[in-house]
Amino acid sequence: MSLRDEIKKLREDFVKGHLLESEVNTDPFKQFELWLGQAVESKVSEVQAMTLCTISPENKPASRIVYLREFENNQFWFYGNYNSRKAKNMETNPNVSLSFFWPDLERQIRIEGKVVKCDPSFSDNYFNNRPRESKIGSWSSNQSSELKSREELENLVAEYTKKFEGKEVPRPDFWGGWVLTADYYEFWQGRKSRLHDRIIYSKENSLWKISRLAP
């Protein structure tokens, strides 16, 4: 059987849960915390991994996996290089989305909102608690720029390792965090025969409206 035929015939029926309007929390952030806690308890692999989608100045979407590192009151923090492609996209268009997929629980969460650079104190605190090798890596990688070879990157790592030998590694000015403030959530629970549950929270003025979407 060809690879294409193999992919075509893949099927998974979702039977592990349901999601009803009468059961969800009226506060989407509390519902997020509930599901995140259940994913952690279930030992879901890479539970903090989320797809970040940005839009380029040419109106082209770009997606990549980043890690959720902090969350509070409908706000979600992640970190990276301020010279990267995603950083440049967010600078020109702050409207982004986050997606979590936890197949072990047959669940997805989509979050939309606007993003800004976070307060430097958050970036300093997070950076200072990273492993030393990761700190060196932040200095060594001009993220999203073209490299001539792997050796070029390894040489930069060696250079910064020597530069900071016996010293604390400071946070580079070009590295830090962003915080997304959510104005939309979608909670997806897989159901049998593709008749999935999709509950959304949309913000109207300062209130959250709960609705159901067709699967």
DSSP labels, 5-64:
HHHHH------S----TTTS-SSHHHHHHHHHHHHHHTT-TTTTEEEEEEE-TTS-EEEE
Options 4, 194, 198, 212, the catalytic residue: 194
Whole-angstrom distance, CA of residue 67 vs CA of residue 40: 14
b/e code 56-79 from CB counts within 10 Å (16+ = b) = eeeeeeeeeebebeebeebebbbb
Whole-angstrom distance, CA of residue 174 vs CA of residue 162: 20
Q: Are 200 and 108 contacting, i.e. CB atoms less than 8 angstroms apart?
A: no
Q: Are 187 and 105 contacting, i.e. CB atoms less than 8 angstroms apart?
A: no
Annotation marks residue 198 as catalytic: no
Tokens encoding 148: 């001539």
Query: Which residues are marked as active site?
Result: 194
